[in-house]
Structure 1
Amino acid sequence: MFHRFRYIFLFFLSLVLLMSLESPKLLSFPVSQSSELRGVWLTNIDSDILFSEQKLSDSIVTLKELNFNTLYPTVWNWGYTLYPSKVAKQAIGIEIDPTESLQKRDILQEILDQGHRKRMTVIPWFEFGFMAPADSELAKRHPEWLTQRKDKSTIWLEGKVHQRVWLNPLDSNVQKFITDLVLELIDNYDVDGIQFDDHFGYPSDFGYDPLTVQLYQQEHQGKLPPTNHLDKDWIQWRADKITEYMEQLVQTIRLRTSKVIISVSPNPQAFSLESYLADWHKWEKKGLIDELVIQVYRSKKEDYLRELQSKELQIAKARIPVGIGILAGLKGRPVNRKNITEQVTIARENGFAGVSFFFYESLWNMADEPAEKRRTLFKDLFPTSAIHPNIIRGWSPQASKG
Structure 2
Amino acid sequence: MIKKIVAISCFFLFLIGSANPQELRGTWLARNTLASKESLAKAMDTIAANNFNTVYVNLWSRGYPLWKSDVFFAETGVYIDPTFQGRDILAEAIAEGHKRGLHIEAWFEYGFVGGWSGNQPPGGKGPIFNAHPDWVAKKIDGGEIDNSNFYWMVHTMPDVQNFLIAMCTEIARNYDVDGIELDRIRYSSLQYGYDAYTDSLYRAQNNGNPPPQNYSDTSWIRWRANNLNQFMVRMKDSLKAINPHLNISNAPSLYSASGYTAYNDYCQDWIGWLHDGSVDNIQVQSYVGSSNSFGAILDYIIQLVPDRTKVYPAFAIYPGGVQLSETEIKNFVTVTRNKGFKGNAIWYFTDLAGVFPFIKQNVFTSPNYPAHSQANWREFYKIVEISNTSNAVRTGNWQQSTVFGYNGASFYADNSAPATVDYYFEVPADGYYEVYTYNVTAVNRTDSAHISVFDSSENSSIYYVNQSDANLRRWVKLGDHYLKAGRRNVVTISNDGLKNGKFLSADAMMIVLNRRLSPSVTGVGKEENEGVKKKSIKTFNLKSYPNPFNGEFKLTYTIPAEGTTEIKVFNTAGELVRKYDKTENEPGSYEINITANGLASGVYFVSIGQAGYYETIKIILNK
TM-score by length of 1: 0.82
Correspondence for 1:287: 277
Q: Is the aligned partner of 1:133 residue 2:119?
A: no
Q: Is the aligned partner of 1:51 residue 2:26?
A: no
Correspondence for 1:308: 298
Amino acid of the residue matched to residue 80 of structure 1? Answer: Y
Correspondence for 1:271: 261
Deviation of the 1:249 alpha carbon: 1.4
Q: Deviations over 1:312-344 (max 9, x none)?
A: 6652534x4321111012795433323212211
Correspondence for 2:370: 388
Decide which of 147, 152, 159 is 2:137's aligned counterpart.
147
Correspondence for 1:231: 217
Deviation of the 1:391 alpha carbon: 4.8
Q: Is the aligned partner of 1:322 residue 2:311?
A: yes
1:2-401 matches, within 5 Å, as 33-44=20-31, 47=32, 49-99=33-83, 102-131=84-113, 132-134=115-117, 135-158=125-148, 163-268=149-254, 270-311=260-301, 315=305, 317-318=307-308, 320-329=309-318, 333-364=322-353, 371=354, 374-379=355-360, 380-391=362-373
| In structure 2, C-alpha distance between the alignment counterparts of 1:383 and 1:316, rounded to whole Å | 29
Distance 1:253 1:292, change over 3 A: same
Deviation of the 1:137 alpha carbon: 2.0
| In structure 1, C-alpha distance between the alignment counterparts of 2:53 and 2:303, rounded to whole Å | 23
| In structure 1, C-alpha distance between the alignment counterparts of 2:323 and 2:157, rounded to whole Å | 40
Correspondence for 2:610: none
| In structure 2, C-alpha distance between the alignment counterparts of 1:32 and 1:242, rounded to whole Å | 41
Deviation of the 1:136 alpha carbon: 1.9
| In structure 2, C-alpha distance between the alignment counterparts of 1:118 and 1:94, rounded to whole Å | 32
Q: Secondary structure at the match of 2:82?
A: coil
| In structure 2, C-alpha distance between the alignment counterparts of 1:172 and 1:195, rounded to whole Å | 21
Correspondence for 2:406: none
Q: Secondary structure at the match of 1:124?
A: strand
Distance 1:130 1:313, change over 3 A: farther
Correspondence for 1:9: none
Correspondence for 1:11: none
8 A contact 1:266–1:280 mirrored in 2: yes
Distance 1:88 1:311, change over 3 A: same
Distance 1:317 1:197, change over 3 A: farther
Correspondence for 1:6: none
8 A contact 2:274–2:281 mirrored in 1: no
8 A contact 2:109–2:184 mirrored in 1: no
Compare 233-242 and 193-202 and name the one that shifted more: 193-202
Amino acid of the residue matched to residue 109 of structure 1? Answer: A
| In structure 1, C-alpha distance between the alignment counterparts of 2:228 and 2:99, rounded to whole Å | 37
Larger radius of gyration: 2
| In structure 1, C-alpha distance between the alignment counterparts of 2:187 and 2:230, rounded to whole Å | 12
Distance 1:316 1:200, change over 3 A: farther
Gaps of 5+ in 2: 1-12, 118-124, 375-518, 520-623
| In structure 1, C-alpha distance between the alignment counterparts of 2:302 and 2:63, rounded to whole Å | 32
Deviation of the 1:141 alpha carbon: 2.8
8 A contact 1:199–1:276 mirrored in 2: no
Compare 324-333 and 137-146 and name the one that shifted more: 324-333
Amino acid of the residue matched to residue 381 of structure 1? Answer: V
8 A contact 1:125–1:194 mirrored in 2: yes
Amino acid of the residue matched to residue 172 of structure 1? Answer: P
Deviation of the 1:256 alpha carbon: 1.7
Distance 1:32 1:123, change over 3 A: farther
Distance 1:316 1:168, change over 3 A: farther
Q: Deviations over 1:154-181 (max 9, x none)?
A: 11112xxxx1111012111101110110
| In structure 1, C-alpha distance between the alignment counterparts of 2:352 and 2:129, rounded to whole Å | 34
Greater share of helix: 1
Deviation of the 1:138 alpha carbon: 2.1
Q: Secondary structure at the match of 2:367?
A: coil
- Percent of matched pairs sharing the same residue: 28
8 A contact 1:155–1:165 mirrored in 2: yes
Higher relative contact order (CA 8 A, sep 6+): 1
8 A contact 2:110–2:184 mirrored in 1: no
8 A contact 1:296–1:304 mirrored in 2: yes
| In structure 2, C-alpha distance between the alignment counterparts of 1:351 and 1:301, rounded to whole Å | 15
Deviation of the 1:42 alpha carbon: 0.5
Number of equivalent positions: 350
TM-score by length of 2: 0.53
Distance 1:313 1:129, change over 3 A: farther
Q: Secondary structure at the match of 1:38?
A: strand
Q: Secondary structure at the match of 2:315?
A: strand
8 A contact 1:263–1:291 mirrored in 2: yes
| In structure 1, C-alpha distance between the alignment counterparts of 2:305 and 2:283, rounded to whole Å | 14
Two-structure CA RMSD over aligned residues (Å): 2.4
8 A contact 2:203–2:210 mirrored in 1: yes
8 A contact 1:238–1:277 mirrored in 2: yes
Greater share of strand: 2
8 A contact 1:284–1:316 mirrored in 2: no
Q: Secondary structure at the match of 2:34?
A: helix
